[in-house]
Amino acid sequence: MLQERIESGEAIIGVIGLGYVGLPIVLNFSARGFQTVGFDIDPAKVDALRNGRSYIRHIPAEEIATHVASGRFKPTTDFALVREADALIICVPTPLSKHHEPDLSYVVQTMETLQPHLRPGQILSLESTTYPGTTAEEVVPRVEARGFRVGADFFVVYSPEREDPGNAIYSTQNIPKLVGGTTPACLKMGELLYAQICQRVVAVSSTQVAEFAKLLENIYRAVNIGLVNEMKVVADRMGVDIWEIIGAAATKPFGYTPFYPGPGLGGHCIPIDPFYLTWKAREYGIHTRFIELAGEINEAMPEYVVRQVARTLNDRGLPVKGSRVLVLGLAYKSNVDDMRESPSFKLLDLLHKQGARVSYHDPYIPVISPTREHAFWTGVQSVPWDEATLKDFDCVVVATWHDTYNLEELASWAPCIVDTRNAMQGVPTNPGQVTKA
């Protein structure tokens, strides 16, 4: 019986998709003594894991090697092993199409791959962020097509991932885990499953509520970031410092939460997830104006930064065309090696299009791996961090601020800095050397 196998620790946990979300889940279940099988279609990832190597900076290779050597973690590309698992947790990408419409191809392909190998007595959990109704519309029918009765001999839940790569405070264990079940029996089994690795499991009444809640979390951030990005443009035009303004407003102990501007949105969630609800809302005749306006503002920020670069170079008697520009930081956030949806790529694209001789430096991304959206930059290497290299650039754009950067060296070596992160605040610089953007 599934419940007894989970409670006794005998259940085999299968995780599909071994990226920033799936790999931590595998390791957490393995650390609790469960046998785990990690499925991925990328042989290179599976090979790396089998040999105790990590391709995610904040997950140590030693941790992976320990779990593999113990026999509790088996990475594989063989989806026939799905039948051996008692729990199946899907952690695959849910990107947008070029028209800002949901691309559920990874979820659908995964379900079709799993379908022939499903058996009675399993629980399947979808963790990929998606629009309300996906679990009921795309997952459950494919389970029922096998002749299973969901809630009786097979269990389906939705439990959105809440991973924050590089966060030293919050991890899989201490982030409250939302779970919505297709039926009450499904919910009970989902709560039991995640209680094995999460300190707190929060049950909601349906898979749709859990799906919507995940989107609301990210829409909240996207809208507030859009607001402060718009305020940054207004403050710049008025000649006042948006960072000082935010600091002043943040002294209010109630009714205000500080958000900070940047060169655009990045990561696997905030730039993408809000549009999943926008798309679904149209089915109900609703125009989600806040979401779309915030999206327009945030997507325009790289162009705003490039205009600031052009203005700064022009003040020095230099055109963008032919100037050497260094983008500092390719990752989408500080202190991680995650470059998914990074606005730095858009800065590279825009500057290159305007004729700049553009390079990047990021200690966590020594070479740019292939991406669907920015294939042009595949194989480009990070330039060194040294005095001769930085002095050779006409302008350095601080796009992402890693703690490893020596900002005093940057101030000493770079003749011109466009700072999108307020990184240079408090660092001694020459008059006119730094432009905030």
**Catalytic center residues:** 269
CB atoms closer than 10 angstroms to residue 257: 9
- Hey, what are 147's tokens? 């002749």
232: Cα within 13 Å, side-chain hemisphere: 26
CB atoms closer than 10 angstroms to residue 139: 26
From the list 138, 136, 300, the residue with the least C-alpha distance to 210 is 136
Count of helices and strands (H, E) across the chain: 15, 13
How many whole angstroms separate alpha carbon 14 and alpha carbon 259? 38
Burial class (CB in 10 A: 0-12, 13-18, 19+), 58: middle
How many whole angstroms separate alpha carbon 347 and alpha carbon 150? 48
Is residue 158 within 8 Å of 126, Cβ to Cβ?
A: yes
Strand partners, 107: none
Q: What ranges make up the beta strands (E) of 144-248?
A: 154-158, 177-181, 201-204
Strand partners, 155: 123
Q: What phi-psi label fits residue 121: left (phi over 0), alpha (psi between -120 and 50 degrees) or beta?
A: left
**Sheet with 87-90, edge to edge strand ranges:** 73-76, 35-39, 12-16, 87-90, 122-126, 154-158, 177-181, 201-204
List, in order, residues 6 or more apart from 427 with CB less than 8 Å away: 407, 408, 410, 411
Is residue 215 within 8 Å of 270, Cβ to Cβ?
A: no
Three-class SS state of 113: helix
Residue with tokens 């998709």: 17
CA triple 417-421-424, angle to 5 deg: 50
Residue with tokens 């105790």: 52
Sign of the C-alpha dihedral, residues 205, 196, 165, 45?
A: negative
Q: What ranges make up the beta strands (E) of 78-197?
A: 87-90, 122-126, 154-158, 177-181
